[in-house]
């Protein structure tokens, strides 16, 4: 059995508009230590992460603690927003969940986000079969992966995790089939647009 601990990043500073470089808030940095303590005794052998600063920083304390490298996967990044700049977040998200092919000009659809994230996940499952691994990710990216395995995971489910920063959910796999899941950590922080 392969156990994948998906770590949705801790609270980030949304006043920084550069999505790639957006850092954690002071609270986010403090809360990321809860991720470390949760994962320390889970016999983690590999850490994969989105290239975004907030995802990497959420697992960096843990990586240092256990002496593991953080392996960056470009395709684990968050949804490319294109011409959408954060206005009316839930209206935009609801349109995307209603139509997985909907996108802002120059942005990505949920289907595209899901396809690239699942492609990386399947590669990781094949390469780390029988291991416990961490995948540092984002709210939308994680939600599209959960939707892949649980089609009933929809906009309402997505809305529930928006204020979970960090959020850790473990999926147990036999091959690339989910056989169990467990919510491991939820820290409530208000999403600020």
> Is 165 domain-assigned?
yes
Q: Which domain holds residue 129?
A: 2-188
Mean pLDDT of 27-39: 97
Mean pLDDT of all residues in 17-42: 93
Q: What is the mean pLDDT of the segment spanning 7-25?
A: 88
Mean pLDDT value across the chain = 93
How many domains does the chain contain in total?
1
| pLDDT tens-place string over residues 118-145 | 999 999 999 999 999 999 999 999 999 9
Let me know how long the chain is. 193
Residue 84's pLDDT band (boundaries 50, 70, 90)?
A: low
Residue 153 lies in a domain: yes
Strands 70-72, 164-174: pairing kind: unpaired
pLDDT for 86 equals 56
- For residue 42, with 0-12 CB atoms within 10 Å meaning exposed, 13-18 middle and 19 or more buried, which class applies? middle
Tens of pLDDT, residue by residue over 138-171, are 999 999 999 999 999 999 999 999 999 999 999 9
Say what the pLDDT of residue 93 is: 86
CATH number (domain holding residue 136): 3.40.50.1240
Strand partners, 186: 167
In a domain, 193, yes or no: no
Is 167 part of a structural domain of the chain? yes
């Amino acid at each position: 059995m392969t156990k994948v601990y998906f770590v949705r990043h801790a609270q980030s500073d949304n006043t920084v508009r550069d999505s790639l470089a957006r850092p954690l808030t002071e609270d986010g940095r403090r809360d990321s230590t809860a991720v470390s303590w949760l994962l320390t005794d889970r016999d983690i052998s590999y850490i994969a992460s989105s290239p975004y600063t907030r995802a990497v920083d959420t697992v960096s304390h843990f990586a240092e603690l256990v002496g593991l490298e953080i392996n960056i996967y470009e395709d684990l990044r968050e949804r490319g927003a294109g011409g959408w700049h954060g206005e009316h977040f839930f209206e935009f998200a609801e349109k995307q969940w209603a139509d997985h092919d909907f996108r802002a000009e120059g942005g990505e659809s949920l289907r595209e986000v899901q396809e690239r994230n699942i492609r990386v996940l399947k590669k990781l499952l094949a390469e780390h079969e029988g291991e416990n691994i961490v995948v540092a990710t984002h709210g939308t990216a994680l939600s599209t992966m959960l939707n892949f395995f649980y089609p009933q995971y929809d906009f309402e489910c997505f809305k529930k995790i928006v204020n979970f920063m960090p959020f850790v959910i473990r999926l147990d796999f036999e091959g690339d089939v989910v056989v169990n899941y467990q919510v491991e950590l939820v820290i409530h922080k208000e999403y600020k647009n």
